[in-house]
Amino acid sequence: MNGAEMSLNRVYARAFGSQRYRTPYRNIALLAVLLLAVYGLYYSWKWDMPSLFPDDQNQTIRVPSHERARRVKQAFLHAYHGYERYAAPSDELLPLTNDKINNFNGWGLTIFDSLDTMLLMGLQEEFDRALPFVEQANFSISENVYAPYFETVIRYLGGLLSAYALSKNPMLLRRADELASKLDPIFNTPIGMPLFSVNPTTGETRGPEIGILAEIASLQMEYSYLAKLTGKKEYFERADAVIKTLANARLDETGGMFPIGWNLTSGQPADYRLSMGAQADSAHEYLLKHHLLTGKTDKASLEMYIRMTTFMITNLLYVSPNRHLLYVTDTGNVPMQKGKARPTRIFEHLSCFLPGLLALGAHTLPLDRLQEELNIHLLALGNTSSFGKAGYGYEVLAKYDLKQLHLWAAEGLAQTCWLTYADQPTGLGPDEIVFTAGENQKIWDGTRWKNEFEVYPWIESVEKWRRSGSRGPAPGVADKLPVVYSQEERLSGKPRGRDYALFKSQYLLRPETVESLYILWRTTGNKKWRDRGWSIFEAIERHTKTASGYASLLSVDSLMPKAPKENSMPSYFLAETLKYLYLLFLDEDPLPLDKWVFNTEAHPFPIFEWTEKEREMFRIDY
Ligand code: DMJ
C-alpha cells in the first residue's frame, strides 16, 4: 500500500468505522459519488443551469467559441430561411403565423438589412438568391403612402452600402445611389434638415415642423460614405448641413446637450427632453462614429461628442441604492434646475448601445490628451455663452482622466445591461425598467456608501477610488450576481432586492446589449463579456425560437407555462442582434475597430480619408 492509499483508508476508516465495513461501504460510496457527478453534469448541460460563478465560466469550457459562432450562424439561417419561405419579398416575417408584413415600404426590408450579415457569415448561396430582389426593388410606393426617412436610411441605404463595401458588387452601389436620390426631396426645408417621411415616387413630403433628434441627425455616416463612393457633392452637403446645424445650435437651456425636439425651420432646439435612448440614441452615436469614419477629420462632431459625454456623465448617470448598479436615465420636458437635469430614473434597453459607444471612444480617441493632441479644451467647451449652465460639469471633468472615466462608465453600464437579462427567469432583458429613487440613493465617498447629496457624486467617487490606489473594482462596476425572483415573489407583487421594477417588460429581440458586449470584448479582451453574450444567445434559443424564425416576447418575467411570444421578428434581429453575437464568438476579427465603423443598424462601413481633390470639390472645411 502506498502513502496515498494509506491515507485514503484512514479517511474511510474514520468515515465508515471499523475495517469490517470498509470495503463494501467504500465501493457503494464511490459509485454513488460517480453517478451523482455524471447526473449533475448531464443535468446542467441539458438545462443550462446558471453557473455558480457570475460569468458562467463553465459554459466557456463546455462550448468553444467556434462552436458558439456556428450555432449563431445556424440561428441566422433558421430565421432567414423562414423569412424566405413565408415572407419574401415582403418586409418582415410574422414568426407565429408564418405570415408576412409590409411595415417599412414593402421593398423587402429583411433582405436589404441581412445582406452584409450573410457576407460576414460566408452564406454565399443566400446572398446570391437575395441579389435579384435587391436589383428589382422599385423604390416606389403608392400615392398617399410615405417612406419613414430615418428607418429607410439606416436599414435600406445602410444595408446596401455595407454589402457593397464587403462584396464590391457595383449593382449594390448603383441601387444605393438611386435610393438616396429618390429620397432627396425630404431635404426641401429652410435649412436642409430632413422631414419625417417622403413618397419617393411623387417627391411629396410629410412631417411636423418639430423634428425628432435621432430622426434628423442619423444620416451623416451614410451620406458621407455615399459621397466618397460616388463623388457626388450633394450627398456630402446633406451630411454637412446636419453637422453644422447641430454645431451652431444654442444649447444654454440644456447645458450643451442636444434635446429630443428640434425646430426644422430655425434649426434650434424645441424642448428640454434629454435622453440617451428612444428618439435620441443614434444622433449621439453618430457624433463619434462620423468622426471615426472620416479618418478623424470631422473635428466638429468630435467636439460635440466630448460635450455630450461630459454632460451625460455629470447629469444623466446614476447608481442604484443597494446593488450599486450604474445606469443612464432621461429627463422630462422641464428646464434644468440649478444647472442640474431632473432624472426620470427610467433605463431603456435602447440606451444599452451606450457602453459600447463609450468603450469605442475610449479605445480610439486620445481622451486623456485632448488638449495636447486635438487642441480641445474641455473648459472652453463648457464655458461658451451657448452652454453656460454646463460650466460646472466641464470643470469637474477637466481634472480627471477622461479615458479611465469613459471606460469605467462603459463597464458599469454594460454590466447593468447584462444584469437586466440575467435577473429574469427567461434570461432576456426587458425593454424598460425604472430604478428606485429617493433618499436611498447612495454615493461612494471613497471608503463607504453614503446618501446622495452632491450634484456630481459619481465622478468624485471614481476619482477618489482611483487616487486611493485601490486594487478592487471601481464603484459601480464590481461583478454582481443576478437576482432572479421566484414565482411566489412575483405573484405576491412585492419582490425586493433588484433596485428596479419592470416598466415595459417585453423583449423585442433588440441588439443594443449584445452590441456593447461585442465592443467591450474587442476593446478590453475580457472574456466575461463573451460569456455573458453566450448566456443571452442560449436564452434567445430557448424562449424565442419558433418553427419559422424567432419571436419577440410579451414579457421577460413569466414562464407560465412558457414565455409569452409576440408575432414579430424585426429585421434588425438579423441585421444587428445575430451579427453582433456572431462577431462576438468569432476568434478572428474581420472588422477591426480601427478600420471599420458600424452604422446604427450594425452595417459596417470602412474608415476613409478625404483626398485633396474631394476637399476642394466638396468644400470641406473640417
Ligand atoms: C435599430 O433599428 C437601430 O439600432 C436604431 O438605431 C434603434 N434601435 C433599433 C433596434 O433596437
Give tens-digit pLDDT for 523-580: 999 999 999 999 999 999 999 999 999 999 999 998 878 999 999 999 999 999 999 9
Cα Rg for the chain, rounded, in angstroms? 27
pLDDT at 166: 98
Task: Find out whether the beta carbon of 222 lies less than 6 Å from any atom of ligand 1.
Answer: no
* pLDDT of the residue at 323: 87
- What residue has cell string 453656460? 388
Cell of 225: 460614405
How far apart are the C-alpha atoms of 347 and 437, rounded to whole Å?
Answer: 12
Dump pLDDT digits (tens) for 427-480: 999 999 999 875 545 555 455 555 443 335 566 777 777 778 877 777 778 899
The three three-digit cell numbers of residue 495, written as one number:
419582490
Mutate which of 213, 576, 599 for ligand 1? The one with the most ligand atoms within 8 Å of its CB, which is: 576
List the one residue out of 607, 614, 622 whose CA is nearest residue 231. Answer: 614
* CA 576–ligand 1 middle distance (angstroms): 8
Task: Supply the pLDDT for residue 60.
Answer: 44
Is the CB of residue 235 below 6 angstroms from any atom belonging to ligand 1? Answer: no
Contacts of 238 (CB under 8 A, 6+ apart): 187, 192, 219, 223
The three-state secondary structure class of 259 is: coil
Distance 572 CA to ligand 1 centre (A): 7
The verdict on the CB of residue 104 being under 6 Å from ligand 1 is no
Closest-CA residue, ligand 1 atom 6, reads: 600
For atom 11 of ligand 1, the residue with the nearest CA is: 510
Give the ligand 1 atom nearest the CA of 510. 11
Cell 435587391 locates to 134
How many other C-beta atoms lie within 10 A of the C-beta of residue 355? Answer: 31
Q: Decide: 289 in ligand 1 pocket, CB within 6 A.
A: no
pLDDT of the residue at 437 = 73
Cell 462576438 found at: 584
CA 407 to CA 410: how far, in whole Å? Answer: 5
Residue 390 confidence (pLDDT): 53
Low-confidence ranges of the chain (pLDDT < 70): 1-26, 29-30, 33, 36-61, 337-340, 383-392, 438-459
Angle (deg, nearest 10), helices 578-585 and 512-524:
20
Q: State if residue 510 touches ligand 1 by the CB under 6 angstroms criterion.
A: yes
Q: Which residues pair with 343 in a beta bridge?
A: 331
Counting from 1 in the atom list of ligand 1, the atom nearest the Cα of 353 is: 4
Helical segments of 105-169, H only: 109-121, 124-136, 149-151, 158-167
Distance separating alpha carbons of residues 259 and 262, to the nearest angstrom: 8
The minimum-distance atom of ligand 1 relative to the CA of 151 is 2
Q: What is the pTM of this model?
A: 0.88
